[in-house]
Structure 1
């Protein structure tokens, strides 16, 4: 019949349904990575990260099941500097307290791997992955595996002589890769949910540039925060806005060559984090104001406002964490909220994409 030829093909509907299903899956995995970042922060703040001294991707999924196994692991832990210099004599009961948090951290990483790999295999087998997406999904799988290897590379640095914590450089590498993996998962999901850029007014270009500036400053502040965490620099200069009564702390450039101060000098590391956070906050507020003024109500405008609000929240949490000398719960919340800021920045950038040429 003639009208049958005008009936829309079911293929685009199926493709759209597949894209929506894959987007939901990727968002769920991204949420798990977000939780992983928070658990990692708590693990670091409690000094639990060095309690498991073996790299056992399969057998390590099970906790110790006998007193003999607990004692073996405790004896291993007693061979590293952290035990001798920080936890000497805290006994098997004290060891179990730090062990469980690190074990949960690693178990959650394994669960993320399963939550990604098994649905990926199912979507692939059913032929439900949209054209052109397979290479990116495979790359995300490889990045997840690399993150596990980098995590162990980081932990191993804490076993070296005279160390009671992991290398700040390896910690920042581990944190940066986690944030990159989260960003890739979230951005891919956004692309599947909103494949066509919005039609926005001409002033959207100005807002886009402001959001880009804020996003880069946010990323720089996060990585600088990784060095603050790695060096425990938040335990010093617990006043705000001045540091020991000075805007720029004494000894800011005491190391030579000069670049070492950026990553190895506590006064400089903390000051740089404060400075970058302040610049990121100002840039995000500027982007939010520009979005409010120049964008119509909708996804792009809401994302810009969320960026401004989340940066303000994160800035306040950072000050509170500093003034209270880094309590574990607040330090963990500060690290988790950093992912909220990253989420808002990515959502704003995605919503402000220019139309395709």
Structure 2
């Protein structure tokens, strides 16, 4: 066997270095795709909330008396089809007891609001299905996210079912509107769905590894306080839906008193007593006001606690909640004092959307603080 020299030439042919970060890059791409899809869903849910509000404010919610998932997508296209729809509306209590003598053109104006509201709900369902199954088939759903995205889809489906459950309550007996508690359930479901999507978007906006590292610096007490804020804000939204359901915001236009007193007259006059919590306009508005005061005080206390946070960006997030709560309370007072015109009512509803989304963001910051420099 021949001896090899000590200083031997190394072969010039080299293998290419293995690419690194392929798995991480794939996951980042998947997270971006899911996030873009969820942003579209977020915008659509954000849009359907004021559309639903206008449907209620224009008394349009009972104009379509049937639910057909497929055939309902096509509106009346002929004079005969419009007559058929109008005849169905004439058979319900709202027409017979409140809108008797309504013209066809007047019926068409409320019909289009309800049809548009339902169509937007269908679009949300289709966008969820196309996005979810498309991402699933192309294997672009990040690990651990399949179940979360299924929950979003389930929320969309449940909202559709609650919507019809709500409408059906106004089609019989002597009802002139849908049941207020069912309206509250439908609106509350929309806000819950919007908040869930917002939380997922915040999580997908950062790499999974960064979230794991950030969680080590989480502030449990501040996170729990933010959870309480979300719950209390949700309660206030439900009470606001009850106010809208019985047009309670158009009575008792003085503030801070109600008809000259701290509590409205006849606050517990309906029997059985529990009916006052849903059907007495003074009682419903009183508790909406009272909960608003409590919510503002709690937000102020949590903001004061957040000022002591070691993370400046987390503190700023809670400051945003306080600022929006201040605007929302002022807007609520103005809305009541002007007897709830539709534009102020919708603006007040949109303020609730901003408030709960900012509260969700603050809780996310408390659980997953953003990185900051030592100097900050």
* TM-score of the superposed pair, with normalisation by structure 1: 0.91
Give 1:322 shift: 0.8
Kindly indicate whether the alpha-carbon contact (under 8 Å) linking 1:197 and 1:351 is maintained by their aligned counterparts in 2.
Answer: no
SS state at 2:362 partner: helix
SS state at 1:325 partner: coil
Q: Aligned to 1:339, which of 337, 343, 353? A: 353
Report what 2:9 is aligned to: none
Mapped to 2, the partners of 1:348 and 1:44 lie a distance apart of: 31
- Give the 3 Å change call, closer, same or farther, for CA 200–308 of structure 1 in structure 2: farther
Aligned residues: 353
Report what 2:139 is aligned to: 127
Q: Aligned to 1:4, which of 12, 17, 21? A: 17
Report what 2:102 is aligned to: 90
- Tell me, yes or no, if structure 1 residue 178 matches structure 2 residue 222: no
Mapped to 2, the partners of 1:261 and 1:255 lie a distance apart of: 6
- Tell me, yes or no, if structure 1 residue 190 matches structure 2 residue 205: no
SS state at 1:294 partner: coil
Report what 1:154 is aligned to: 166
Give 1:214 shift: 2.5
Mapped to 2, the partners of 1:354 and 1:74 lie a distance apart of: 54
Q: Which moved more, 1:250-259 or 1:198-207?
A: 198-207
Report what 2:334 is aligned to: 320
Give 1:255 shift: 4.1
Report what 1:329 is aligned to: 343
Give 1:203 shift: 9.9
Mapped to 1, the partners of 2:28 and 2:48 lie a distance apart of: 30
Give 1:297 shift: 3.3
Mapped to 1, the partners of 2:167 and 2:34 lie a distance apart of: 33
- Tell me, yes or no, if structure 1 residue 351 matches structure 2 residue 365: yes
Kindly indicate whether the alpha-carbon contact (under 8 Å) linking 1:35 and 1:336 is maintained by their aligned counterparts in 2.
Answer: no
SS state at 1:221 partner: helix
Mapped to 1, the partners of 2:316 and 2:37 lie a distance apart of: 24
Mapped to 2, the partners of 1:146 and 1:215 lie a distance apart of: 21
Mapped to 2, the partners of 1:247 and 1:241 lie a distance apart of: 8
Kindly indicate whether the alpha-carbon contact (under 8 Å) linking 1:198 and 1:353 is maintained by their aligned counterparts in 2.
Answer: no
Give 1:155 shift: 0.5
- Tell me, yes or no, if structure 1 residue 233 matches structure 2 residue 248: yes
Kindly indicate whether the alpha-carbon contact (under 8 Å) linking 2:31 and 2:141 is maintained by their aligned counterparts in 1.
Answer: yes
Give 1:175 shift: 1.2
Give 1:293 shift: 4.6
Q: Which moved more, 1:78-87 or 1:152-161?
A: 78-87
Q: Aligned to 1:15, which of 24, 27, 43? A: 27
Gaps of 5+ in 1: none
Gaps of 5+ in 2: 1-13, 370-376
Mapped to 1, the partners of 2:126 and 2:367 lie a distance apart of: 32
Give 1:248 shift: 1.9
Report what 1:111 is aligned to: 123
- Give the 3 Å change call, closer, same or farther, for CA 208–136 of structure 1 in structure 2: closer
Give 1:258 shift: 4.5
Mapped to 2, the partners of 1:302 and 1:267 lie a distance apart of: 37
Kindly indicate whether the alpha-carbon contact (under 8 Å) linking 2:93 and 2:173 is maintained by their aligned counterparts in 1.
Answer: yes
Mapped to 1, the partners of 2:109 and 2:84 lie a distance apart of: 16
Higher Cα radius of gyration: 2
Report what 1:208 is aligned to: 223
Mapped to 1, the partners of 2:275 and 2:176 lie a distance apart of: 21
Mapped to 1, the partners of 2:338 and 2:91 lie a distance apart of: 33
Kindly indicate whether the alpha-carbon contact (under 8 Å) linking 1:321 and 1:334 is maintained by their aligned counterparts in 2.
Answer: yes
Q: Aligned to 2:62, which of 33, 37, 50? A: 50
Q: Which moved more, 1:345-354 or 1:285-294?
A: 285-294
Q: Which moved more, 1:83-92 or 1:205-214?
A: 205-214
Write out per-residue CA displacement over residues 136-165 of structure 1, whole angstroms, 9 at most, x where no aligned residue. 212221221121121111101111121110
Report what 1:247 is aligned to: 262
Between the two structures, name the one with larger relative contact order (CA 8 Å, sep ≥ 6).
Answer: 1
Mapped to 2, the partners of 1:342 and 1:276 lie a distance apart of: 15
